[in-house]
Amino acid sequence: MKKVITYGTFDLLHMGHINLLRRAKEYGDYLIVAISADEFNALKGKKAYYTFEQRKAILEAIKYVDEVIPEYTWEQKIEDVKKHNIDVFLMGDDWEGKFDFLKDYCEVIYLPRTVGISTTKIKTDLNMANNG
């Protein structure tokens, strides 16, 4: 069984996330998503709208996703790859090159981001719509 892992906040789920997850699943048979815990989001300077538990439940409902685990630190990736016998680590290319150290442990793939959508854009657009 070929196992793929990807990491992210996945807040206010949108087509950029779905496109990433769908393509990630095409690289193997089993996709693990490590979702940023609320404490880790704070380290990333992010405040998610949905809690970790809510974001976990939403991701678990997606047909491409086989398992959801928490992401607590930047440093856990090597341990995760070993513990879960990961074959492919995959991220959007806004992270291009940032995780190449994982090439010693698994295949590392960066895929083009979906243009024109982001959680930040959703929040901005909604604020504009509500505040005129």
**CB-wise, 94 or 125, nearer to ligand C2G?**
94
Residue 130: CB minimum distance to ligand C2G, A: 23
**CB-wise, 10 or 27, nearer to ligand C2G?**
10
Which alpha helices (H) appear in the chain, and where do they start and end?
A: 15-25, 38-43, 52-60, 77-83, 119-131
Residues 102, 78: contact at Cβ < 8 Å? Answer: yes
The separation between CA 127 and the C-alpha centre of its own chain, rounded to angstroms, equals: 25
**CB-wise, 81 or 91, nearer to ligand C2G?**
91
- Determine if 3 is a binding residue for ligand C2G (CB under 6 A): no
- Point out the catalytic residue in the list 2, 44, 83, 121: 44
Active site residue 44: yes
CA distances from 86 to 12, 38, 100, 108 (A): 27, 24, 15, 11
Active site residue 3: no
CA distances from 129 to 29, 63, 115, 125 (A): 41, 32, 21, 6
Of 3, 4, 5, 7, which lies in the binding site for ligand C2G, with binding defined by CB under 6 A?
Answer: 7
Give the contact letters, 64-93, x = binds to ligand C2G (CB under 6 A), - = no: -------x-------------------xx-
Q: Residue 68 corresponds to which tokens in the numbers above?
A: 């959801």
Catalytic residues: 44, 46
Binding-site ranges for ligand C2G (CB under 6 A): 7-10, 16-17, 20, 36, 44, 71, 91-92, 94, 113-114, 117-118
